[in-house]
Structure 1
Amino acid sequence: MHDSTTIQDHMMNLTKFFSGLENKGTLFELDFKIEIIFASLPDAYSSFILNFHMNKVVVNNISKLTNMLIEAKSTLKKNKVVSLVIEKSSQGSKNKKKKRTKKSKKGKSTSVKDRGV
């Protein structure tokens, strides 16, 4: 699938491809068609494919899968925007300088230096 192609157009092309081969006598099971479709999708859909297999989603036809992929595409667009907005913490390097203490069995706090480690 090319970046400029919509998921609807891609799925329509694959459906025509399967229909053309089936008209010539080659029969495909639905599970095989689904795996071919997944193999043709860009890496952006990898989380969708993983969830599909992990949750053992059952689809009865390609059009239902097409609707699920359209929905996933809109979710992917939202996630891209959210992932770009990440706040950096300015205190990250200050926290590393603190001494670590470990409590002994009696509840006293001992420094790492005191234990000779």
Structure 2
Amino acid sequence: MSEGSPVGAHVIKMMGYIQALEKLGFPLNDELAIDVVLQSLPDSFNQFVLNFNMNEINKTLPQLLGMLRTAESNMKKGGSKSILMVREAKGKGKKVVKSKGIGKTKPKGKNTLKPK
């Protein structure tokens, strides 16, 4: 796919190639078919591909087509701004240990009391 061309037409063409392979006796499973489509995208979709793979999203080719069309429209609206999706980590994090205030110094200023 060339940079700037519509992603919908490209993905539909790729789906046709995948169906042609099935008719020839070389079927691709869903995961491999999606990987082939994602690898054929230009560099402007790198962030989408990264999020798709990192979040282990399980979609069919038509669902992927819808997601790519949405991502393409968001890229056109936002220009060159990139979006990073962050989600809560699985598992336990580090415990935060609170200090008991031993060894803290008091602030010095006009309002502090001084011993006589």
TM category (shorter chain) comes to: 0.5 to 0.7
Report the CA distance shift for 1:4/1:79 in structure 2 as closer, same or farther (over 3 A): closer
When the two chains are superposed, the root-mean-square deviation of aligned CA atoms in Å is 2.0
Match of 2:76 in 1: 77
How many pairs align? 86
Distance 1:81 1:50 in 2: 17
Structure 2: stretches of 5+ with no match in the other structure = 83-103, 107-116
Deviation string 1:78-110 (CA, Å, 9 cap, x unpaired) is: 221668xxxxxxxxxxxxxxxxxxxxx979xxx
CA distance in 2, matches of 1:9, 1:79: 22
Change (3 A) 1:44 1:81: closer
- Identical columns (%): 29
Between structures 1 and 2, the one with greater helix share: 1
Residues in 1 aligned to 2:73 and 2:14: alpha-carbon distance in whole angstroms: 21
What is aligned with 2:39? 39
TM-superposed deviation, 1:77: 1.2
Give the match for residue 29 of structure 2: 29
State the TM-score, normalizing by the size of structure 1.
0.65
2:5 counterpart letter in structure 1: T
Higher RCO (C-alpha under 8 Å, 6+ residues apart): 2
Q: Is the 8 A contact 2:75 2:81 kept in 1?
A: no
Question: Distance in 1 between the 2:18 and 2:70 partners?
Answer: 23
TM-score, normalised with respect to structure 2: 0.65
Runs of 4+ in 1 over 2 A off after TM superposition: none
What are the equivalent positions in structure 2 for 1:33-112 lying under 5 Å apart? 33-59=33-59, 61-80=60-79
Once the 2 structures are TM-superposed, how far is the Cα of residue 2 of structure 1 from its aligned partner?
Answer: 1.7
Structure 1's 26 and 6: CA in aligned 2 closer, same or farther, altered over 3 A? same
How do 1:15-26 residues align onto structure 2 when only pairs under 5 Å count?
15-26=15-26
Please list every run of 5 or more consecutive structure 1 residues that lacks an aligned counterpart in the other structure. Answer: 84-104, 108-117
